Amino acid sequence: MAQYLIQTDAHRPAAVGDVVPLPGDEARHLRTVMRTRPGQEIDLTDGRGWRYRGRLIASGKGDRPAVEIMAAARDAGADLAPQLAVAVGVVKGKRFEWALEKACELGAHRIVPLQTAFAVVVPRGNKQERWRGVLAAALKQCGRSLLPVLEEPTDLDGFLAGTEVTDELWFGASPAAERERGAVAAGDEPPVTKGGAVPREITVCIGPEGGFSAGEIAALGRAGARELDLGPHVLRTETAVAAALAVLQRRCRLWRAVAGAAGDSGGA
């Protein structure tokens, strides 16, 4: 079932009875594609973890469609820790947009475009705006209620400097690196808390076409990153993003089970 993205007050979610105007793109889709008529109910999200049921109250020619909120509920999974993050080397054209789309579908909460040693693309102009549009479309299609945070491009050192010590940090290794050093399948080992804390984030770093340089791999190692086993073949960047997040979704569920068991027993 289609859902539509609305803009709500930054300081509070929409409440039952509120009338919320629909953004231009959403209004056009309702009017010209879906042929939605006043009085019909539609599913909505604000991209901040809230889901709504709304009733269309204006869709005539010349009117700006709006919805009256009929029901509002916080998505139960929106605030659970750990959350997923991916830092990914910027690659050419539609391939990076595909990576963003799949990252949204596979539950990434935060996406960081990386400028790396072997990157051949430097983001310019309105790239961030276009990328946010890709994420918004993916959010609506896949039925999520939480729009991933898209950060400004940064280099690997800048990204690693903002990583907390309690976070889990992984990186996608090449098959050669896996054979040489022994990558870990994230589902092969149980989560172990650091000082009793569930990590805030599980983060994976994925390189561009040329992979990470030796210096970048060394920096990842110093930051405590572990190599994630993504199989025996060389993957394109966008494929590695999807594969890594699929693996780490399971990792998140394992951590949440650990946290739930600790809560049930009165532990941290």
Question: Quick one: pLDDT at residue 191?
Answer: 63
CATH code of the domain covering residue 62 = 2.40.240.20
The residues, ordered by sequence, that sit 6+ positions from 41 with a Cβ below 8 Å of its Cβ are: 53, 54, 55, 56, 70
Quote the tokens at residue 63: 């009117």
pLDDT band per the 50, 70, 90 thresholds, residue 197: confident
Four-point Cα dihedral 103, 241, 156, 164, nearest 10: 60
Mean pLDDT (whole number) for 28-51: 82
Q: Does one domain contain both 40 and 165? A: no
CA–CA dist 122, 17 (Å, integer): 46
Q: Does one domain contain both 124 and 51? A: no
Q: Is the pLDDT of residue 40 over 50?
A: yes
Q: Does one domain contain both 144 and 43? A: no
Least-confidence region, from 34-38, 97-101, 154-158, 217-221: 34-38
Q: Does one domain contain both 46 and 96? A: no
How far from 77 is each of 144, 146, 227, CA to CA, in Å?
Answer: 10, 9, 27
Quote the tokens at residue 172: 């996608």
Cis peptide before 38 (omega within 30 of 0): no
Q: Which domain holds residue 47?
A: 3-74
Four-point Cα dihedral 216, 221, 224, 225, nearest 10: 60
CA–CA dist 186, 252 (Å, integer): 10
CB 121 within 8 A of CB 239: no
Q: Does one domain contain both 16 and 47? A: yes
Domain boundary among the residues 43, 74, 105 is at 74
Tell me what percent of the chain is helix, strand and coil, each rounded to the nearest 5. 35, 25, 40
Question: Quick one: pLDDT at residue 14?
Answer: 95
Place of tokens 């060389």: 234
pTM of the model: 0.87
Q: Does one domain contain both 121 and 38? A: no
